[in-house]
Amino acid sequence: MATNKLLLTFAICRLIVTVGLTLNPMELLRIGVSVDPTDVEPASLDFGLLTRTEPLAVLHPGSAEDIAKLVRAAYESTHGFTVSARGHGHSINGQAQTSNGVVVQMSGSRGMQLGLGKPRVSDMLRYVDVWGGELWIDVLKSTLEYGLAPKSWTDYLYLSVGGTLSNGGISGQAFNHGPQISNVYELDVVTGKGEILTCSEEQNSELFHAVLGGLGQFGIITRARIALEPAPQRVRWIRVLYSNFSAFTHDQEYLISRHGQPDSQKFDYVEGFVIVDEGLVNNWRSSFFSPSNPVKISSLGANGGVLYCLEITKNYYEFTANTVDQEVEALMKKLNFIPASVFTTDLPYMDFLDRVHKAELKLRSKGLWDVPHPWLNLFVPKSKIADFDRGVFKGILGNKTSGPILIYPMNKNKWDDKTSVVTPDEEVFYLVALLRSALDTGDETQTLEYLSNQNRQILKLCDDAGISIKQYLPHYTTQQEWMDHFGDKWSLFHRRKMEFDPRRILATGQCIFKPSL
Ligand code: FAD
């Protein structure tokens, strides 16, 4: 107890010496700065559980002005300190962490508890204004009250708006609507100088584009205006299997090429999985596949032990329920999956969007959620996806994956090149997401070391084979690697940084720029 008090006093002194030059202790407390270990400890960790960095303090902002005050203090003080927004802390490699500085806890913030940041829906203009720390699940709940919903999603909804807009925000709707960053009308941003600016395509457009996919480098998003559409009521959710990779990718590419067609002639969501071990099929069967349809990998003629699962959905309303079967059938006729492998379910729209949360609850109950996650997300150009399949799915991975492997294509023309995000230089590129968990079960192939080593092998293979991937949710530790990642966009990225965060104090956990402290 006495040690705790001593540590707390020490932390307060350290903070006041660093921050207090420009903000007095009373002001620090008033805007919601805390050095309490129960605040500092969670802000030192993230979903990846691969790194731990302790900040000096945590800010629980009550408003955008509280954040602006803190950032101004950091910008103006002689020594300076760093400031990192933390959404829901679902990064993998400490991207929202910072040492020698303050973490701004955006999700579950004081302002939200006070009800200040409640989503405000304009049903006439079909948009919602939300606090940057709002979770997508809560955005959805608010908009559904008006019969509306955002157009573009992530697979998992317990992520913050500011966190996904700092990366891209993708799921099976991206081929049609683009990523979440293509579905934002306006933002309020606290820049690295502590100014609060409203930005959009028309107003402060340089900042708007910089922040979208900007990895938190140019400002802290405090409000986002998100595009809405009428919310579908139900979803027909279908999975079909392939043993032939080129038939699988041919069909995925065909389906995403229909993005310009009327809604009745395209699916609303296109994703896919790779199945390299029989366990996965059986697991999935218990949660999705009908028990009357037992699947045996061996009976499906899997080529090299690998199967591919196409996952598609068709949204509908009760008043269009009578046409959904025909529409689905007409589209399915064009596909070349294994005939005996069609698995269908039907559920409310909300349940479909929130599907990964169900898996989370299951994993949590088994103690399998709070484990290290050496995830690797890659954008792979269409022209090299077959090489990737041969080298990785049928090569490096062996017959055990330790977690889901997603694969689905997107159309580059749905991504705005003026934003900060980088994608491969081809009209169609794939997301390949290796979402693996490291476990301490005595099985060497499930250890963190083994999986991290496989990730390195995959990146090396891409390098050696000339597969020009771009990392999604990128992680690099040297500026040279970041320059390579951004390629032609590096000089723009750098110039924007010097303009909006000249002391380089924001989101240092990304390890792109060294702060000038
Ligand atoms: P954090 O981890 O808290 O922050 C991420 C980065 O954004 C940090 O650099 C931080 O400083 C910055 N940041 C956070 N808030 C703000 C803000 N308000 N303003 C400016 N910068 C900010 N991604 C997808 O695209 N599609 C998916 O389907 C998907 N599924 C996922 C499923 C799970 C289970 C997990 C763990 C992650 C998934 N992700 C997915 C990745 C996710 O989008 C990113 O990790 C995202 O950053 C998480 O949001 P967060 O709120 O937890 O951000």
* 100 and 131 assigned to the same domain: no
Q: Is residue 493 part of a domain?
A: no
* 239 and 289 assigned to the same domain: yes
Q: Can you give the CATH number for the domain in which 196 is found?
A: 3.30.465.10
* 32 and 137 assigned to the same domain: no
* 289 and 312 assigned to the same domain: yes
In whole angstroms, what is the distance from residue 175 CA to residue 223 CA? 26
Weakest mean pLDDT among 48-52, 275-279, 406-410, 502-506:
275-279
* 218 and 178 assigned to the same domain: yes
Q: Can you give the CATH number for the domain in which 268 is found?
A: 3.40.462.10
Per the annotation, the verdict on 155 as an active-site residue is yes
> At which of 176, 211, 230 does a domain end?
230
Q: Which of 66, 138, 268, 271 is catalytic?
A: 271
Per-residue pLDDT at 351 exceeds 50: yes
pLDDT at site 234: 98
**pLDDT top residue among 73 and 113:** 73
Q: Is residue 483 part of a domain?
A: no
In whole angstroms, what is the distance from residue 283 CA to residue 297 CA? 13
Q: In testing the pocket of ligand 1, which one of 44, 159, 357 has its CB within 8 Å of the most ligand atoms?
A: 159
* 462 and 336 assigned to the same domain: yes
Per the annotation, the verdict on 271 as an active-site residue is yes
Helix (H/G/I), strand (E/B), else coil: 511: coil
Q: Residue with structure tokens 């997401």? A: 433
- Residue of 168, 13, 100 whose CA lies nearest to 503: 100
* 462 and 320 assigned to the same domain: yes
Write the DSSP assignment of 246-276 as a string of letters: HHHHHHHHHHHGGGGS-GGGS-SEEEEEEE-
Q: Answer for the pair 500, 207: CB distance below 8 angstroms, yes or no.
A: yes
Residue at 413: amino acid letter: N
**Region 476-499: what's the mean pLDDT?**
98
How far, in Å, is the centroid of ligand 1 from the Cα of 254?
30
Average of per-residue pLDDT values in the chain: 92
Judging by DSSP bridges, how do beta strands 219-230 and 127-131 pair with one another?
antiparallel
* 276 and 344 assigned to the same domain: yes
How far, in Å, is the centroid of ligand 1 from the Cα of 85?
11
Q: Is the dihedral of CA 210, 216, 217, 218 positive or negative?
A: positive
Residues with CB under 6 A from ligand 1: 46-47, 84-91, 95-96, 106, 132, 154-156, 159-160, 162-164, 166-171, 215-216, 220-221, 473, 507, 509-510
Per-residue pLDDT at 285 exceeds 50: no
**Region 262-284: what's the mean pLDDT?**
81
**Residue-wise pLDDT tens digits, 398-431:** 888 889 999 999 999 999 999 999 999 999 999 9
In whole angstroms, what is the distance from residue 288 CA to residue 374 CA? 26
Question: Quick one: how many helices (H) and strands (E) in the chain?
Answer: 18, 18
In whole angstroms, what is the distance from residue 153 CA to residue 176 CA? 11
* 119 and 137 assigned to the same domain: yes
Q: In testing the pocket of ligand 1, which one of 154, 355, 497 has its CB within 8 Å of the most ligand atoms?
A: 154
* 146 and 269 assigned to the same domain: no
How far, in Å, is the centroid of ligand 1 from the Cα of 49?
14
**Residue-wise pLDDT tens digits, 439-479:** 998 999 999 999 999 999 999 999 999 999 999 999 999 99
Q: What domain range includes position 104? A: 2-109+500-510
Q: Can you give the CATH number for the domain in which 56 is found?
A: 3.30.43.10
Helix (H/G/I), strand (E/B), else coil: 75: helix
Per the annotation, the verdict on 201 as an active-site residue is no
In whole angstroms, what is the distance from residue 180 CA to residue 507 CA? 21
Q: Is residue 413 part of a domain?
A: yes
pLDDT at site 21: 61
pLDDT at site 292: 42
* 320 and 254 assigned to the same domain: yes
**Region 255-277: what's the mean pLDDT?**
95
> At which of 173, 203, 230 does a domain end?
230
CA angle (389, 394, 397) in 5-degree steps: 105
How far, in Å, is the centroid of ligand 1 from the Cα of 154?
10
* 126 and 104 assigned to the same domain: no
Per-residue pLDDT at 111 exceeds 90: no
pLDDT at site 291: 39
Phi then psi for 284, rounded to 5 degrees? -65, -35
Write the DSSP assignment of 204-249 as a string of letters: SHHHHHHHTT-TTSSEEEEEEEEEEEEPPSEEEEEEEEES-HHHHH
**How many domains does the chain divide into?**
3
